[in-house]
Amino acid sequence: MNDLETIVQDAQAAFSRAPGPADLENAKAAFLGKTGRMTELMKGLAALSVEEKKSRGAAINVAKQAIEAALSDRRAALARAELDAQLQSEALDVTLPGRQRGQGGLHPVSLTLERIEAIFGSMGFDVADGPEIESDWFNFTALNTPQDHPARSMHDTFYVEGGSAEAPNLLRTHTSPMQIRYAVQHVKKYKAQAAAATGSLFSGDMPEIRVIAPGRTYRVDSDATHSPMFHQCEGLWVGENVSFKDLKYVFTNFCRTFFESEDLVLRFRPSFFPFTEPSAEIDIQFQTGPLAGRWLEVAGSGQVHPNVIRNMGLEPEKYIGFAFGMGPDRLTMLRYGVNDLRLFFDGDIRFLSQFQA
C-alpha cells in the first residue's frame, strides 16, 4: 500500500469513527485543513520535477477526491441518523388505547321519570312542569290544608324569602300544587275558547283534565330513606264522570307496566289527606322475586275534595275526579333493588354508571 492509499484509508476510518457532525469536521481538518496531511503532500510537490509533478499531482488529486467523497458520505449518514433519532423520539404509538371521554347517561331517577311519562302518556295524560319555589296558597291553602296543619310547621317545610307573613314563599313540599296550577290554566283556556266559539263547532264543553306533574320537592328530612330534596309525580284526572274505579284501573295498569309484572297486586288502604275525600294509600305486592309477599307503599291518592275542585275554578256539583302522588325515587329503588336513597344524590360515578344501557 502506498502512502496515498494509507492516508485515504486513515481518513475513511477517522470519518466513520466520528460520532457526530462536530467530530467529523475536526477529523476533516486533520486531512484537508491548512495543516492537514493532504495539504502537506501538496506542498511537497514544489520540490519535484515537472514530469514527477504531473503524475504525483494527479495521484494526490485522486486521493483527495476519495477523501472528500468519504467525508460527504459520512455527513449524509450522520444527518440521516439525526433525523431518524428525532422521528423515533417523536413517534406516536398508534396501538396504545386512547384516553377516552366516558360515555354519559341518564340518572336512574330520570330513567324512571321517562318511564312514568311514557306510560301515562300512552293513557292520554299530559305532562306538566311547575315552579319549585311555591306560594303558601298553591302548596297548602288551595289544597284545603288548614292553617294549623303540621306540614306547615318550620320543621317540615323550607320557607324562603319573599312573600308575606300570611302567605310566605316556600320550597314546595309536594307536587300537589300542580293540580291547582294546571287545572286553573286548563279551565281558563277552555272558557276563552268557549267565549270565542259561538257559532263554531266547539260545543263549549271542557275536555277532561288528565295530567301528570313530575318534579323535585323538598322537606326538612334526611336519613337512608328520606332526602331533603326528593322527587314526586302528581297525577290528576278530572271530568264529569271520573270515579275511583278509574283510579284503580289507571294505577294498576301503570304499576304492572312500570314493573313489567302482570301478577303484581295492589291494595288501596284508607288514609287521610286534606285535598282528597275519601283518601287511600296505595300499596303494591310482588308475587315473585326478592320482594315477594311484602306490601310496599308507593303512592297517596283519593277523590279530589270539593273545596279543591272549587279552587280549580270548577263546580264540584258537576266535576269530579281523582288525584295521586307517588315517589319516583322509591319506585327506582324498588325497580333496581337500591337500598339507600342517598346513593341517588351522591353523584358517585361507580354507582350511576351501573344504570347505563
Note the residues at the interface with ligand DAH (CB under 6 A): 174, 176, 234, 273, 276, 300-302, 323-325
For residue 89, give the amino acid letter: S
- For the bound state, the minimum distance from the C-beta of residue 234 to ligand DAH, rounded and expressed in Å, comes to 6
- For the bound state, the minimum distance from the C-beta of residue 197 to ligand DAH, rounded and expressed in Å, comes to 32
Contact call for residues 262 and 256 (beta carbons, < 8 A): yes
- 74 vs 231 by CB, closer to ligand DAH: 231
DSSP 40-70: HHHHHGGGS-HHHHHHHHHHHHHHHHHHHHH
- 14 vs 212 by CB, closer to ligand DAH: 212
- For the bound state, the minimum distance from the C-beta of residue 173 to ligand DAH, rounded and expressed in Å, comes to 7
In the numeric block, which cell numbers belong to residue 97?
388505547
In the numeric block, which cell numbers belong to residue 126?
299530559
- For the bound state, the minimum distance from the C-beta of residue 324 to ligand DAH, rounded and expressed in Å, comes to 5
- Among 63, 45, 62, which residue's Cα sits nearest to residue 54? 45
Give the 3-state secondary structure of 299-334: EEEEEECHHHHHHCCCCCCCCEEEEEEECHHHHHHH
- 108 vs 300 by CB, closer to ligand DAH: 300
- For the bound state, the minimum distance from the C-beta of residue 195 to ligand DAH, rounded and expressed in Å, comes to 30
- For the bound state, the minimum distance from the C-beta of residue 243 to ligand DAH, rounded and expressed in Å, comes to 14
Helix axes 108-122, 244-259, angle to 10 degrees: 130
Taking residue 160's Cβ as centre, other Cβ atoms within 10 Å add up to 14
- 15 vs 324 by CB, closer to ligand DAH: 324
Residue 65 to residues 4, 74, 344, Cα–Cα distance (Å): 12, 14, 83
Contact call for residues 115 and 328 (beta carbons, < 8 A): no
- What is the rounded CA–CA span in Å between residue 216 and residue 234? 11
- For the bound state, the minimum distance from the C-beta of residue 316 to ligand DAH, rounded and expressed in Å, comes to 16
- 36 vs 302 by CB, closer to ligand DAH: 302
- 115 vs 330 by CB, closer to ligand DAH: 330
- 74 vs 144 by CB, closer to ligand DAH: 144
- 282 vs 333 by CB, closer to ligand DAH: 282
- For the bound state, the minimum distance from the C-beta of residue 304 to ligand DAH, rounded and expressed in Å, comes to 7
Long-range contacts of 253-257 (CB under 8 A, 24+ apart): 253/119, 253/123, 254/116, 254/119, 254/120, 254/123, 255/284, 255/298, 257/119
